[in-house]
Amino acid sequence: MNELLLTALTLSVLGALLAVILYFVAQQFKVREDPRIGEVEKMLPGANCGGCGFAGCRAMAEALVSRDDISTLYCPVAGGEVMKAAATYLGKAAPEKKPQVATLRCGGSCQKRQKTNKYDGAKSCAVVNTMYVGESDCAYGCLGYGDCAHACIFGAIKMNPETGLIEINPDKCTACGACVRACPKQLIELRKKWPKDRAIYVACRSRDKGAVVMKACKAGCIGCGKCAKVCPFGAITMDGSLAFIDSEKCKLCRKCVNECPTGAIHLINMEPLAKEPKEAKAPAAPAKEEVKVETAK
């Protein structure tokens, strides 16, 4: 009985002693951390996608807490609401950014772009890109092996075997930019997200001259410049033989869509303008007439 008591007593004393030591050690080596980091991290989506430019949501939360000016930080996945909430919590000015969506700037589907050779190496765009231009004559078009789809952790990108091009689901896309980095041809661009997922963009990035583009692909931008001339908002610029629509300046007036001779300007979730008024009903659209004269010059 005595032995039992002695054992219990020894262990209790030892336990108490160690507890006191541990307490002091813990006080001494305490990692002092801003508790707000944890709170902000909870607000963030926890996708750890790297879309903000940081290694993960925790790193982003740390940056949000530690920096005085957070106007350059933005989580594309959470969006403006969450950023506002986090900023209010921290008592800082909320970073603002309009919602964006990834857009494939190539319209060279199997039907529009003829295959001129067959590739049977490793099924990866990055690999194809190191070897040659791809299965068509276009040196700028989509290679179709879906590196972007593999890079997308939100499942927003699907390969369409019929067109040989990817399709981006705007509801799932968070504009994290992983696909933009994955594409060796730099074909994916983050563009302004319109209500109802409307969009107008030049689905081509070929820098070849018009004749070369026409030979390789029926849907390419040939650099005729008609769209740039017709745009009333100055949203379209020509860079060499390639048109570019600035999604911030574009007002979705759709005038450029009908001008494009190759259909390289894609119109999404919108009805195109009626084609007749331009030719037949002159009084209906006097402004357009003027523009047409300019084009002729």
Partner 1 sequence: MKTFPIGGIHPSDNKQWSKDKAIEVLELPDSVAVPMIQHIGAPATPIVKKGDKVLTGQLIGEATGFVSANIHSPISGTVTAVDMLPNGQGQRRMMVVIKREGDEWVETIDRSTELKRACTLEPKEIIAKVKEAGIVGMGGAQFPTHVKLSIPEGQKANILIINGVECEPYLTSDYRTMLERGEMMLVGVSLLMRAISVDRAVIGVENNKPDAIAHLRKLVADGAYRGIEVMPLKTRYPQGGEKQLIAAVTGRQVPPPPALPISVGAVVCNASTAVAVYEAVQKNKPLIERVVTITGKHLKETHNYLTRFGTPYSTLIERAGGLPEGDVKILNGGPMMGRALVNLSAPIMKGCSGVTVYSDGDALRGVEQACIKCGKCVNACPIGLEPYLLARASKLQKWDVAEEHNATDCIECGCCSYTCPSYLPLLDYIRIAKQTVMANIRARANKK
Interface with partner 1 by CB under 8 A: which residues? Answer: 116-118, 120-122, 124, 126-127, 130-134, 137, 139, 208
- Based on CB atoms, which residue is closest to partner 1, 47 or 90? 47
Q: How far is the CB of 128 from partner 1 (least distance, A)?
A: 9
Distance CA(183)–CA(181), nearest Å, equals: 6
Question: Which has the closest alpha carbon to 279: 260, 259, 254?
Answer: 259
Least spacing, CB of residue 117 vs partner 1, in Å: 5
Q: Which is nearer to partner 1, 133 or 273 (CB)?
A: 133
CB of 207 to partner 1, least distance (A): 8
Among residues 104 and 182, whose Cβ is nearest to partner 1? Answer: 182
242-252 burial string, b = 16+ CB within 10 Å, else e?
bbbbebeebee
Hunting for tokens 């996945």 — which residue is that? 77
Measure CA 245 to chain center: 16
Which distant-in-sequence residues (6+ apart) come within 8 Å of 207 by Cβ? 140, 240, 241, 242
Tokens of 134: 């791809």
- Of the two residues 15 and 121, which places its CB atom closer to partner 1 in the complex? 121
186 versus 295: smaller Cβ distance to partner 1: 186
Give the H or E element holding residue 237: strand 236-239
Whole-number minimum distance, CB 119 to partner 1, in Å? 9
- Which has the closest alpha carbon to 173: 160, 190, 161? 190
- The residue behind tokens 């930019």 is 177
CB 126, min distance to partner 1, A: 5
The distance of closest approach from Cβ of residue 127 to partner 1 in the complex, given in angstroms and rounded to an integer, is: 5
Query: Which lies closer to partner 1 via its Cβ, residue 95 or residue 146?
Result: 146
Q: How far apart are alpha carbons 34 and 14 in whole angstroms?
A: 34
